[in-house]
Structure 1
């Protein structure tokens, strides 16, 4: 069974199919640089993904810049007024911050 993502050196890449072009393709997820790859086989796509990550890391090293890491650990979430207020009230009643309350809810939802 083919999954829709791959992981290499802490980076995640999508796996997509283009039947009209008869290729597999994807892009590195959760970072701002646009990094694409493609191949004709699943094994080839995995290799192309790994080569793309290695090339990105080599380019960063050559330019003496820090490679971007997937998901920096903070994000802005638009909850809407009612949900924001309900979460704030629930957090207050649980004697915790709204941020910690939302973090715990996400952890529970993703099984961490």
Structure 2
């Protein structure tokens, strides 16, 4: 996985071979917040500092910092897909919400591996 987590914020990490540095970007916020370092320890410290600075900057200008995600997800899917998912959830003895969360979690873990 090319990511880090701190205070409920996530970051995507890449390596810039030309400059020889790790570059990170905070995900899930509309503001562009990035950071970099030459090693993992420095990158972790830079990420923490970037999150802390983002929260402080928001407070300074009277803006609420964006939280990474609320947990509410609204989707539009083909009615046939909806019916199949509802049936699968019922067969599993779960609500569509519980079933969907498990399926999404499993898919997300597989893509992060």
> TM-score by structure 2 length?
0.74
Question: 2:8 maps to what in 1?
Answer: 10
Question: 2:71 maps to what in 1?
Answer: 73
Tell whether the 8 Å contact from 1:31 to 1:71 is kept in structure 2 after alignment.
Answer: no
Judging by fraction of residues, say which structure has more helix: 2
**SS in structure 1 of the partner of residue 87 of structure 2:** helix
Question: 2:44 maps to what in 1?
Answer: 46
- Greater relative contact order: 1 or 2 (C-alpha under 8 angstroms, separation 6 or more)? 2
1:23-42 alignment runs, 5 A limit: 23-42=21-40
- Asked if residue 57 in structure 1 is aligned to residue 55 in structure 2, the reply is yes
Q: In structure 2, what is the Cα distance between the partners aligned to 1:47 and 1:75?
A: 31
Distance 1:12 1:89, change over 3 A: same
> TM-score by structure 1 length?
0.75
Query: Which segments of 5 or more consecutive residues in structure 2 lack a partner in the other structure?
Result: none
